[in-house]
Amino acid sequence: MADNKNRVYAVAILDDIFFASKIRQAAESAGLDIEFMKGAEWVAGAALSGTPSLIIVDLANKKINALELIGILKGRDNLKGARVLGYLPHVEKGLMKDALDAGYDIVLPRSRFSLELIEILSGITTVYD
């Protein structure tokens, strides 16, 4: 792609291989490029090819501190335009509130995120088409 700065893509930070496969399939169906990271190392040092349209974070991922991560994401100039979506087990009501308070744009129970995944990812591509 000649101009990577205008590339429409998403980043998913999760450590669940099964769920990553599901997200990858949904992204392909939506016509969206997606990059996967297991931890927050991407935020600290990766050279980004443009600003991702969406950053998806598994709030139950034990390899990251999701509440600290959102501050880092929102603090990076090159990530300010990205929406940040967190998902978590439905029983984590306290974490849901804490994540929203910390700055996540949207937080969904994992089951709802899973059901609406293609629509969520398709919405990104249609906004930029």
Residue with tokens 């450590």: 15
Measured CA to CA, the distance from residue 107 to residue 85 in angstroms comes to 6
What's the mean pLDDT in 52-79?
89
The total number of structural domains that make up the chain: 1
Residues counted in the chain? 129
Domain of residue 73, CATH code: 3.40.50.2300
What domain range is 20 assigned to?
A: 4-128
Does residue 19 register a pLDDT over 70?
yes
Predicted pLDDT of residue 124: 67
Does residue 67 register a pLDDT over 60?
yes
Q: What is the per-residue pLDDT across 20-62, written as a single tens digit (0 to 9) for each? A: 999 999 999 988 899 998 876 666 555 555 678 899 999 999 8
Global pTM value: 0.86
